[in-house]
Amino acid sequence: MTVLLNDYLQQQLQQHGLPEKLGSVISSISNACLNINHEVRLGALDNILGSAHTGNIQGEEQKKLDVLSNQLMINALRANPAVAGLASEEEETYVAAHEEGEYLVLFDPLDGSSNIDVNISIGTIFSVLQKPAGELSTQSFLQPGKDQVASGYVLYGPQTILVLTLKHGIALFTLNEDNQFVQTARDPKIPADTQEFAINMSNQRHWETPMQAYIAELLAGKTGPRNKDYNMRWVASMVAEVHRILVRGGVFTYPKDHRDAQKPGKLRLMYEANPMSLLMAQAGGAATNAHQNILDIQPEGLHQRVAVILGSRNEVAYATAKHQA
Ligand code: AHM
Ligand code: MG
């Protein structure tokens, strides 16, 4: 039986007594992603590759597609009365939406910016929170990852795939020829052990000593303490790495390094680490910042950076333990 995203949402909401409005927020996000997908697929044909010649709040160069995707997400979410406010990796501050709205949505509209112009997988990452009572402020968004009510991503790869959790397992959907998300996997579980790791090796000299020691063990393979050979992958798109890990296991890390004392890692807690960590937890994997579960971190700022180790739970536990000595 073909299960469309909407069927899945209705069934999940009913089964777990979740509010209809949560389903409508997910639908708004998925609709925006259909539009982003359309632009991604057209690429140069729609003149949307290349730099927008602007910088975001973090001083990073924005691609035209970053800017466009951000606008498509904002437009779709603002049109939904259930959305009280949103925060984007590309926006300096949060954007208020509807006073009566119940939900907050945080997102990285197009992750993997360095891959946009070279036709390598990129994605949209999203996180949904309940809006706390009272007036909307930055503080309303600063909730630990474990309080997310939903999260997911859309991967614009050889196939367009939506992965979603409403905190009752995860579900995978593949975009069909009629532009509909069709469920293609239910509750995949990440193998607890792995022989595959992902890290940007070019930063090795900047890592802290425990990460140096951990990766050296993996590289030593069968002749080292881990007693097995490891394979390495680095797509430079977190969405693609996380998707690979969901499908066949692995460990992904973007560690803390010494390049900039203000930035304990490259990835953002609110737009990247939290939503992906919730998916990991729901699929039997794990995610830490090398010291604690990412989902337990109390956020201090919307654009806060964090070190990330995520994936197969035994490997994440091993790498994390190495940092506690
Ligand atoms: P972005 O949000 O600016 O695209 O940066 C996040 C991306 C991740 O998808 C990926 O894991 C990482 O940056 C790649 O970094 P690097 O360029 O150091 O390989
Ligand atoms: Mg990103």
**Ligand 1: residue whose CA is nearest its atom 7:** 112
pLDDT attached to residue 190: 98
132 and 235 part of one domain: no
Check whether residue 165 and residue 303 sit in a common domain: no
Cβ-Cβ contacts under 8 Å for 257 (sequence gap 6 or more) = 203, 206, 207, 208, 265
Dist. CA 115 → ligand 2 center (Å): 11
Q: Say whether both 27 and 79 belong to one domain.
A: yes
Instruction: Note whether 317 and 311 are within 8 A (CB).
Output: no
At 56 the pLDDT is 72
Instruction: Return mean pLDDT, the chain.
Output: 96
Give per-residue pLDDT as tens, 26-59.
Answer: 999 999 999 999 999 999 998 889 888 877 777 7
Confidence class for position 5, pLDDT limits 50, 70, 90:
very high
Mean pLDDT of 288-295: 98
What is the spatial distance between Cα 236 and Cα 200, in angstroms, rounded to a whole number? 8
Predicted TM-score of the model (pTM): 0.97
Least confident of 61-65, 134-138, 320-324: 61-65
Q: Which residues surround ligand 2, an ion (CB under 5 A)?
A: 108, 111
Is 112 a pocket residue for ligand 1 (Cβ < 6 Å)?
yes
CA 2 to ligand 2 centroid distance, Å: 32
If asked whether residues 15 and 158 sit together in one domain, one would say yes
Q: Mind spelling out the 3-state secondary structure of 190-213?
A: CCCCCCEEECCHHHHHHECHHHHH
Give me the pLDDT at residue 90, please.
Answer: 93
Q: Residue 172 pLDDT more than 90?
A: yes
pLDDT at residue number 52: 82
What pLDDT, on a 0 to 100 scale, did the predictor assign at position 54? 76
**What element of type H or E holds 39?**
helix 20-42
Query: Is there a single domain that holds both residue 35 and residue 168?
Result: yes
Q: To the nearest whole percent, how much of the chain has pLDDT over 90?
A: 91
User: Of 146, 165, 186, which residue constitutes the final position of a domain?
Assistant: 186
Which residue's CA lies nearest to atom 11 of ligand 1?
Answer: 238
Both tokens assigned to 166: 């409403």
* Three-state DSSP state, 230: coil
pLDDT at 46 (0 to 100)? 86
**Displacement of CA 44 from its chain's centroid (Å):** 26
In contact, 311 and 194? CB cutoff 8 Å: yes
Q: Which domain holds residue 220?
A: 196-324
Q: Evaluate whether residue 191 is within a structural domain.
A: no
Query: How many whole angstroms from 88 Cα to the centroid of ligand 2?
Result: 10
Domain finish residue from 186, 217, 248: 186
| Ligand 1 atom nearest to 241, measured from its CA | 11
Residue of the nearest CA to atom 14 in ligand 1? 236
Closest ligand 1 atom to 203 CA: 18
In the numeric block, which tokens belong to residue 318?
Answer: 């091993």
Asked whether the predicted pLDDT for residue 24 surpasses 80, the reply is: yes
Q: How many domains does the chain have?
A: 2
